[in-house]
Amino acid sequence: PGSMGIARDLFGEGLVLPPVLLRRRGVLQRDVHRLLLANVRGPGERELDLAAQASSVQRLADRILDLQRDWGRASLLAHVRGLFDYSERVGRMALQQLRRGRFSAQDHLEDDGQGNGPLPIRLDLHTNGKRLRFDFGRSAAQAMGGVNANRSVVVAACAYAVRCLCPSRLPTNAGLFRLFEVATRPGSVVGPVRPAPVAGGNVETSQRLVDVCFQALGKALPGRLPACSAGTMSNF
């Protein structure tokens, strides 16, 4: 259900693919393509999905090259850097509204699907008016079940919370990620060590992470952030 099996390790959750080229210099790598389609339900639909994604990336590449021809490479790169700097500058103005200090928050996962729990997620948020530090070092040890969240999921949850502090039309780019850092403890539910299972970390634990971020930021900026969510993506 929900494409998440009751697995006790990463290998039980499905095929693990390292970064590989689906296209090499524009040419489809048919062995990789066949490997992917042989390991999914509805391969016909998935083939269309992959084609649509490839087309969207190609369209982006074409448009970037068009801009480079119109403006020149140096000018285009200068505009890109300027956009990053703008997001950082506006975001830092938002951070200046926060109270300085350390603000703690906590929530928990009721169960890991293997009968273990509750699993606390603890955050110590440090603010100094210029930069945020999200420290999850006091969170529970990694779970036997697949509710562990890898670093990408944790960083995305923090980035989302920071983005909610900023004006609605602010471009989300690398400039936003200059505003904060994330600390996790290896071997924890938010810093799992391979081959810990992680399928549910993206759809369940990610929601609790956002809620914990909102709790801590709410103490630093009362009355200005969204309330916590339902704490789940409600997958069946």
pLDDT tens-digit series, residues 139-155: 999 999 999 999 999 99
- Beta strand extents in the chain (DSSP E only): 23-24, 27-28, 101-109, 119-127, 132-135, 180-183
So what's the pLDDT on residue 6?
84
Distance CA 209, CA 32 (A): 34
Tens of each residue's pLDDT in the chain, 236 residues? 566 778 999 999 888 889 999 999 989 999 999 999 999 889 999 999 999 999 999 999 999 999 999 999 999 999 999 999 999 999 999 999 999 999 999 999 999 999 999 999 999 999 999 999 999 999 999 999 999 999 999 999 999 999 999 998 999 999 999 999 999 999 999 999 999 999 999 989 999 999 999 999 999 999 888 888 888 887 66
Closest CA to 189 of 101, 103, 114: 114
Answer for the pair 127, 220: CB distance below 8 angstroms, yes or no.
Answer: yes
Answer for the pair 50, 36: CB distance below 8 angstroms, yes or no.
Answer: yes
